Structure formats: structure tokens, C-alpha cells
Structure 1
């Protein structure tokens, strides 16, 4: 019996078996680590005449994106294959009303929409729609000053983005007056936060967005909002109990920051037309670090970011500047997956580390087996 075992072990250590084992180790490492690094970014091209979408969200229940429009009071669904269909069209609103920021209330399966009338006099409101039926649940006008009527030339209000908490309360940023409105689940509105901290930092008047203040907003389950201010590049943390706010200390400003989204691992995504910022915090956003920036296609004018299936990050190229000018017509828009270049490199490094460890383990195993064969041969002889 002993010589037969020795022969089997010798064959196991032969070139063919060894090479097979090495290939197995490498393929196994790639299987567990490699797919996210190896696959191509997901690109969704879709068509809709003069849509010029400013914001979008991923709907996990329906498995499609929901996009708004700067030029029409409509919402479209866009499949991952690029099929676009109108799901809501509100004929009650003026034809050129804009559906700007969006927020998906998953618990109640409704979509909250910031409504802004682009032409003077200005009109701002928050609309809520049931996504199962398409029925409008409420349309609430938004005013920063009760003495200034909606539609007055004195109003500088611009309803921009919206976030929703677990109770169904919505928080709407006002980019013109640097305040935040609150609209409860029944559609009743109030001025929620007008902290002086929002007006405490200098604005670069040479930028095209110098008049755009508070912009993207997201809700954190620990009881606060994160809000980016486009014209100062500052990020604020706002308590949802009393509206108090303070600046999040970052290693760099988020200049031109527009839409926000949060990954499952807590990384905050901040999109501007030039780049996508990846930001993280270890102390519940007292401080944060911009740990990576991914360049975007500036000519396509990105304005929003969302997190889709498998925690994939997507930006919306809606050509919004062209839509605001009103002198350009366009049918094609796109939703593009964007990755952190730094994280992708780190994944590749871990892949190489695992392959190296696998090879080292194999060499150690082969050495041990060789010693075992020699010992068995000695006993046989």
C-alpha cells in the first residue's frame, strides 16, 4: 500500500497537477474579487424630446430610474436598457413648469417633486405623487417670507432639492434664499431652517453658479440632514429636531456641488458638472474627507447622482444648461455608471495580494508534500 500512496502523491506534485492547482487559485481569486474591477461601466442612453432632466432616482421596487424635466411637469421611467415611458404628467401645472429635485419615499411608495416655474414671476411648490396610481397627493406652495406672495417679483425663492425622513416629512432646499422648508406628510409647509451659518462663507462671484446656494440634500437615519451649498462649496449638517446647522469640516470645498446620494457603506456622493466627489466621515459628519474625485464629461452637464442596484453609482447627464437657455433642442440624454478610481485600484491590489497568498500557500503545501513523500520512501526502503 505504501508505494502506491507514494506514487499518487508524486503524480499530484507533477507539472500538470501543479499548473492546474495554480490556475484554480488564480481563477478563484478573480471570482471573489475581480468582477467589480473587470466589468465595464453601465451606460443607459435614452430619448425624450426636450426633456432636459435635472434630477433622477433609482426605484428598486419597479427596477427603473425615475427622471424629471426642466421643461415639462412630467416624470419618466427609464429602464436599464434605455426604454423611457411617461409615468406622471401633471396638466394642472403650467406647461413650462420644472420638475427639479426628486425624492423617493419608499415606505409610502410616493415620489416627492420640487416644482419651480422658470419664467418670472417665480412659483415654487412641493408635489407628492403616488407611484402605484400616478395620483397627485398634494401640491404645496412654498414661501420663505409670508409677507411676499408666491409669484411676486420680490421673491428670490428657488425650490431645488428634497429629502424625506422615515415619518414622511420632506425637507426642501431653497437655493435663492439659503433656507430649508419642511413639508409634513399631509402637505403642510413651514420654514424649517434659516441658520445664519448658511450665509457665513464667501461666494466666488466669478462662477456661473454664484447665485445658487443650498442645493443637494439627503436624510441620515441618525436624525440629521446633509446639505451642500453650490456657491461656497460647503457641506452642512442640519438637525431635524430644531433646524440647527453647522459646517462639516472637510479637507477641501465641494465647489459647484449639486445632487447628493449615499452608498450603503455611508460614503457621500456629491456631483458637480466637472467631477463626482467621494466623501466619507468617521464621526457622524462632524468632519469628513474627500478621498477621491472622478472627472465627468463637462459638456454633458451632469446635475444628479443616485445609487442603483448592487450599490452602483450613476450620474445623470441632462444637459441642464442648454435646457435653461431654452434655445437648444435635444432628444438624447444618458445615465452613466461612475466608479471611484482610487477604490478600483485598491480592489486590483487586493486581487494581486490574494493571488500572491494563494501561490505562497501552494508552494508551502508542495514543499510539505515533498517532505512527506521523502519520509514515506525512507520508511518503505
Structure 2
């Protein structure tokens, strides 16, 4: 095979590829290998390019005659990256004198997905185990020491109801999250009246706001265009955001919801609705803001559970907003509380 033809083949591969001679010298590399490990490697020993024992072992085995030798390695350059290493023996010398071909494929995203899945299962197990353990304890107490204690019955039944509702909220949010993640890449086909939706949410949450000594104030233009979107999902977004503002705002303060029409706002092309939900709470430390939409991430674990949070609400909001080709922005400070702003395009071509 001509060198130019071989180079064309290697250049078309997404993996970093090395042709190795019998003395471990690098005979040829493709651009992907040069980009990761540097240029001018031809003629040098492979150990100069990749100083990892498992990679070198796979190369040695291929040079010794092993048909395929594989390994998974992590290289710290400059960000830790996981590679699938494959070294294959070339049984006959070609015009380049190559005796093995070594390829490295970046599988970091696969490993990250596996870790996320593992973390998710662990988190769900922990979140369900806590109320189940509490329920088991209450049942054991009612069957034993408090068997004939009417006052204890009332107290423990109330606590059991609280834990059962907590599990129900968690399962409901898990189902919602699963649904929105599946549909995230599919644009909604309906239309949604945001003003009407928010008014319904405020009515639904009015009793909770009164109990928490808060008032929800809604500002919007006289005429607000409908958006392309799924009405139920948009309702879920503002149910989550307004309820959070009520839960975490300071007593005897307002929760403010403001709608504006904007154009060319960062992250959304064309005209869009900007809906800002602001509380007057203590604010969120800046280091936590980038992680707020992660599943089960909480700034204050105990407080979140005390107010009935599952740790999934903002993850659901993020995926719904993404499905609508919008953007979620979060700002927070001690003097102003927290502001969650949702940008939703007014036309289907915006993204």
C-alpha cells in the first residue's frame, strides 16, 4: 500500500493511531495522535510518547505476536482522560517495517456516563432508604412499646404520613425526570399561554404562600404572545420555581414573577419571553450555583428535606427548558435573594 493511501486511511480515523516497528520505534502517526501527544514523534520510542505501563505492556504483547491486546488507561494531560487502548500484531512486515498498530480511543464520556448512572442509583437508593427506615421504626414502635398508647399512635401516624408523602414526591419526580430526559431532543408541537399558566400556579400555591407569610406578585405586559411549547411541562417549570421561591424566601416578603419580551438575549436567537422568579431569601453562595441543576444536588441537605425537597426539581426544570430550546439563568446575592430567569423562544426556529 502506498504511504499516501495509508495516510488517507489513518487521517479518517477518530482514534489516535501509531504504527510501531519491531524495536518499539514510532514509524507513522495520524493527526489525532499528533494533536494529543505532540508532533515529530516518528523515529522515537513509543515510551517517549505514552508513559503508561499498561499501554506499553499491550504494545509489547502485540509486537511479540498477540493478535489483539487491550487496556484501559487514564492519562493526566492536561485534564484526566480515559482511553481504550488496542494493540494489534501485524504478521508480515510491510514497506514501513511496521510490526504492530496501536490505537487510543477517548472513552471518557462513556466512563462519565457510567459513573453518573452509578451515582444516580446510589442517590435514589439513599433517598428511598431514609423514609423506609423511618417507617419501619415507627411500625416497630407501634407494635411494641407504644401498642396501647393512643397519643403515640396519633404522633407516629402523622410522622408516617409525612414519610410516605416524601416517598411519593420522590417517585413522582423520578418519573417526571425520566420522561423529560427521553423527550428532551424532541421539540414540543403545541402552544402554551405562559400568563395563564403562571396565574394557575399562583392560585394553586396561594394557601402555601399564606402559611409561609409570603405574597406572590405577578408583573406582565397587557398582551403576551403564546409560545410554542408543552403546556403541562411549562406549568411544571413554574410550579417548581415559584414553590421553591415560597419555601426559601424570608418570612413576610414578596415572591415576584416578572414577564418581559426580549430579543437577542444570550443563548436564545430571536424574540423570546423572559420570565424571572425572584425571592427575598438569604441567597445562594456563588460556588453552588453551577451545580444547582444536578440531580440530587442540595445547597443545604437538612433544610431541603425539611421543606419537602427531593433534589430533582431544578434538574426537571433544566431538561424542560432545554426541550423548549430555551435557557435557564440563575443569579443570587445576599441583598436581592435569588432570581431564576427562564428564556423561552417565541418562534420554533430559535435555539
TM-score by length of 1: 0.26
Higher relative contact order (CA 8 A, sep 6+): 1
Higher strand fraction: Structure 1 or Structure 2?
1
